[in-house]
Structure 1
């Protein structure tokens, strides 16, 4: 059975699209790691409602000049790394796809940039923000990574089918460059036409679905649901989307504490001085954020710890884990998600689905038998994932112990996955050596 799983994963990873995805993510890994550190600084240090800022009373101990400089720099680097990540991903995905088929990779990459920028413009117009720069669009942000990679891959395939073969040389004369441009005119034109169609689809989707009152009401109902089965179904969808590179639903879970049901729980706890008998015990904000995802870092941080403790065979994985340990501890996980990679990696698919579901079920059981109280209090930005339930329960020590035990259990559950990953990497290296 194990060999069949390994064989299946190997066949999937040899597909052209997965080869392109892997190469694109590896190229973008340094940008993602840099962005993760600056996101840590922005969310946990240089923000008035952040964890470290309030723990160390930086409003009193840090000078205004240092705070404004830190906030300016950290926010700026988050914008130019994570805020424009889709543009980088589209460029390299198109470039590597075209290069795979010996086409003009440079012009393919630039065409993909034009296409995704038009899609970003369409997205902003649909959000009644047409006067703003398309560089601020959610289409370009790291949470929409899948769309960017697909745009780049499709553009690269258009160059594959319609473009002429291209052999890079060290120095090109003007005449050869001009000929390259003319050779790419047809695939570029077709790609831009497809980009127009995609932009219109994004515009209509944003206007008629995302911005509709019906959709907003549905989202509010899901966030305010006290039904455990609905929460598990929501978590399943959220984790699937996160695995394929769509991180917006997972990031929005942190805002679920502002809903009507969460507010009712907080008011009850403030009036009675306790959260044990709040009216809505099984909310998204009470289960998924503090336990299922631990601020979005549960699986990532557990995997990093496991690699550092047990995986001494792969120096590369160990270096990636060390580089991302600090930001992942404060819920800035994109550097590791891309560097490992976890996104669109079939090895981690089941783990990303099953482990958060188990966490939520165990937490719901503990709340039901009054082992721990529900998390109803607001939590500061950048609070480490393991501490979210502690602060969310107003400092209940049983919540902290439960979260630590849950985290250790997650590490144990990841052992078979890491062993499978090591076996697959070994087989891949053997296959590559034979191919040479």
Structure 2
């Protein structure tokens, strides 16, 4: 599901967007018929909405399913109950925000960037079924009477789960709690984008990377787009007047440091990880996921690999997610101070491959491009031991599962 959404995200941001790189290279404004563009834009935007926009529904469902299944409870009923809870909380969250009789059902709670809350809801519902539900043994054949029996056995935990959801939803409505609201992230994003203090930039980059790893991707997603802050405009105006960006007033501006070097449009972590998987891994399933997501990841749509690998809440990837962007920014700041590369001051079109962001942002400065390639190579090298550790853990888990199946027989 996430991989499908990643491809349509690529189409939406990279082809059917007038501000995208591919759209402008091929001059689609003149070469693409309006009917085709309108249809493509509607289809890609719609698929992104029904995959990433309501991904929290899928996350809550499967979180409840696998939690209940772990304790041999009716996982399907648990999944249905979790969907009711997460959608109800989402609706009341939007209702309390809009203060009108018509609320937008597609809340930030349901977005893939707020997946942590959905996973928690699903887990809690699964635990309710653990303590209140009856044991369930799957059957190859299901008939009406058996389904009725299942529904009756799941009635108590379902009522309890929905009651918890009602309480949470009412609390959200009465106290107007804006879960995952942009207001709580804007201060972080604004401080990071407008700061020229390298220490603050590195610390806030690590914070946003940690939130992204933990399932709250709104701050990091906001940083993948160009900013129109006063400091960014001052840098661009200086570069336009003087013909170069070496002595801009804000050399270490957070928006350019993070976007061009820290995360490189998600290339520093996700694309580097994809390259390492394709070169070093021996796991066919993981390699298949990496191959399927290579194209979207290269153009800045990492959610397919983020979910499919998974990177989300995986302790193996915590340190790389925190340290690699910070290290990239430190190295880039050193290169800028030594005048080896030029600061990125120009706007970059959406859908630009992460490795090329600094190149276009510095108006085609070739030393900057070579430096970014070397920096990306360093990121790939740093990811190699992470993949090796992951392979060892996977091998041990495989052996453990085989032994467990043997004892079960």
> Which bin holds the TM-score, normalised by the shorter protein?
over 0.9
Against the structure 1 CA distance between its residues 105 and 130, is the aligned structure 2 distance closer, same or farther, given a 3 Å change threshold?
A: farther
Pair 1:197 & 2:197 matched: no
**Over 4 Å off, 4+ runs:** 129-134, 200-212, 214-219
| Aligned CA distance change for structure 1 residues 209 and 388 (closer, same or farther; 3 Å) | closer
How many residue pairs get aligned? The number is 404
Matched, 1:230 2:200: yes
The yes-or-no answer on 1:167 pairing with 2:115 is no
The gaps in structure 1 that reach 5 residues or longer are 1-30
Q: Compute the displacement of 1:208 (Å).
A: 9.9
Deviation at 1:173, TM superposition (A): 4.2
For residues 153-194 of structure 1, the C-alpha deviation after alignment (integer angstroms, 9 at most, x for no partner) is: 110110110112222323444444333323322212221222
- Measure, in 2, the Cα distance between the counterparts of 1:231 and 1:205: 32
Q: What is aligned with 2:348?
A: 379
Paired residues for 1:28-427 under 5 Å: 31-128=1-98, 134-200=104-170, 202=172, 204=175, 206-207=177-178, 210=181, 216=186, 219-255=189-225, 257-311=227-281, 313-427=282-396
RMSD of equivalent CA atoms: 2.1
- Greater Cα offset, 37-46 or 198-207: 198-207
Normalised TM-score (structure 1): 0.87
8 Å CA contact 1:223, 1:256 repeated in 2: no
Alignment partners' CA distance in 1, 2:123 and 2:27:
48
Q: Secondary structure at the match of 1:370?
A: coil
Q: 1:282 and 1:190 mapped to 2: Cα distance?
A: 53
Against the structure 1 CA distance between its residues 50 and 146, is the aligned structure 2 distance closer, same or farther, given a 3 Å change threshold? same
Partners of 2:189 and 2:222 within 8 A in 1 = no
Deviation at 1:300, TM superposition (A): 1.0
Cα distance, 1:400–1:417 mapped onto 2, change above 3 Å: same
Taking the aligned partners of 2:92 and 2:77, their CA distance within structure 1 comes to 23
User: Are the aligned partners of 2:194 and 2:253 in contact in 1 as well (CA < 8 Å)?
Assistant: yes
Helix, strand or coil for the counterpart of 1:354?
A: helix
CA contact (8 A) 1:330 1:382 kept: yes
Q: CA deviation at 1:386?
A: 0.3
Partner-residue secondary structure (3-state), 1:143: helix
Question: Taking structure 1 as reference, are residues 169 and 211 closer, same or farther at Cα in structure 2, changes over 3 Å only?
Answer: closer
Please, which runs of 5 or more residues in structure 2 have no aligned partner?
A: none
**TM-score of the superposed pair, with normalisation by structure 2:** 0.93
Contact 1:285 1:375 in 2 (8 A): no
Alpha-carbon offset, residue 274 of structure 1: 2.4
* Deviation for aligned residue 1:89: 0.9
CA apart distance, 1:97 = 1.3
Contact conserved, 1:124 with 1:130, CA < 8 A, in 2? no
CA offsets, 1:208-257, max 9 Å, x none?
99576x97556534431111111111011111111112111110113461
Change (3 A) 1:408 1:211: closer
Task: Tell whether the 8 Å contact from 2:189 to 2:223 is kept in structure 1 after alignment.
Answer: no
